[in-house]
Amino acid sequence: MYTQSPITDPRLAEFRIDDRVMRYSQFVPRLYNLCKSHGFRPGFTLPSRAFCSDESQGYPVILLAKHFGVFPFNHGRTGGIMAIDRHGPFSHHGEDLVIIQASHVGYEPEQKKYGIYRRGRTENGGYCPNCGLIASVLSWYQQEFEHACNNIRLIRQGQEWLIAIDNQLLDNQRSAGLILHLDQLIDNNGGRGFRPLRSLSTARVFRPAENLLAQIGAEETEQPIPICSRLTPDMFYFRRPIEHTSEGKAQVERNLQPIMPTIVTSRHPSLAAAQANTQFEFERAYRSIVGCPEYRGKNLLFIAGINIDISPSPEHPFPLTDFAPWAAYLQLRDGSRRLLEQEELWQALSSQATDNPDQTDLENAIREMNQAEEVPLELN
């Protein structure tokens, strides 16, 4: 169902999506049973979620409440960023603790497109970005990449290829922008430096580097062609000051900026961004959890992954959300600790039953609360 272009960057390549997803209706009871298998006690286990504030995340929250029998604590900021300053309060609310961190990405099955989601509550029921915050962060970088793709051109001159690069892109001292690794694009004349063959009105022309020539191949054309997909992640990086903002935007950008060349060149940038954000958030939150004294002497499972929000059809009130696990950290009351990488985590979850005899009948619980005797409020 899910497809990805091959990602060679080791920071993303290990995160498998295509055959490592399960429906939330299966994931949450398996998570609950996994916790029980490690001694987490029914009635004392409190979940917490670090999700984006998007309404598409409501269905996972409902399932967590159903299977754990309590509404989950909120550890999340927009973008699926972990509010690590909430560890202390969370630790005081339960004895056996579970934290689920997940960035999210929309999926439109008819278009087979990631990063969008049908908003059925809007006037026209149309599609918009999902996650909106990640899309907002990506926007500037994608525009810079598109500009570079269109303003670096390959020119056929007889039997020789040349490369024309916009003068702005040749300025590597810019305070913000896409910065080229010129040695990956331009022949450096045997170490003697980059010497333009011609100077145009807004660009200069060079002989291309050998590795770029190998990518061009035997393309037959007399017209200049944009570099496009030949501009690979090893040929550039981004420079942009990150301003501190409220909620999670600054942290999302800090997470994504180092890996942004891989993200903008991937087939599904929104999916790649959700992967990267989850991976960086897992490590950042893991470091904060390990050093948190309030968690000592308690059972704790911290699990991270991606929530994939499949746009609901008109007859469905909620998305068919899938979960792709990335990693987990288990810390038990006796002091033992272990990390579970993706494959081990996948096997641990898959081995658990999807039946949960401890689950709460939410409709019945709401009915009983509605019928319960009124409790008078004393003001004296």
User: 36-73 pLDDT, tens per residue?
Assistant: 999 999 999 999 999 999 999 999 999 999 999 999 99
Q: Give residue limits of the domains in the chain.
A: 10-130+248-259+268-358, 140-239
pLDDT, one tens digit per residue, over 347-370 is 999 999 999 999 999 999 999 999
Helix 269-290 × helix 249-256 angle, to 10°: 100
- pLDDT band for 4, please (50, 70, 90 cuts): very low
Q: Is the pLDDT of residue 17 over 70?
A: yes
Q: Across all residues in the chain, what is the average pLDDT?
A: 91
Tracing tokens 């990335």 back to the chain, one arrives at 326
Cα distance between the two ends of the chain: 62
Q: How far apart are CA 232 and CA 212, in angstroms?
A: 10
- Min mean pLDDT across 194-198, 297-301, 324-328 is at 194-198
Dihedral sign for Cα 179, 183, 189, 190, please: positive
| Angstrom distances, CA of residue 150 to CA of 69, 139, 146, 220, 368 | 55, 17, 6, 19, 64
pTM value is: 0.91
Residue type for position 267: R
Query: 317: which DSSP letter?
Result: S
**pLDDT at position 246:** 62
Question: Does the CA dihedral 188-189-194-196 come out positive or negative?
Answer: negative
Q: Is 41 exposed, middle or buried (0-12, 13-18, 19+ CB in 10 A)?
A: exposed
* Parallel/antiparallel/unpaired status of strands 198-199 and 203-206: antiparallel
The residue with tokens 């810019």 is: 174
Residue 144 pLDDT class (50, 70, 90 cuts)? very high
SS3 content of the chain, % helix, strand, coil (to 5): 40, 25, 40
In terms of Cβ atoms closer than 10 Å to its own Cβ (0-12, 13-18, 19+), residue 74 is middle
Q: What's the CA gap between 104 and 127, in Å, rounded?
A: 16
pLDDT over 90 for what percent of the chain?
76
Return d(Cα 70, Cα 281) in angstroms, integer.
25
Residue 263: DSSP 8-state: H
Quote the Cα angle for 372-58-37, to 5°: 80
Give the Cβ contact number of residue 314 at 10 Å: 8
At 56, list the tokens: 């598409």
Share of the chain above pLDDT 70, in %: 95
Tell me which of 8-12, 75-79, 312-316 is least confident.
8-12
Better-predicted residue by pLDDT, 10 or 18:
18
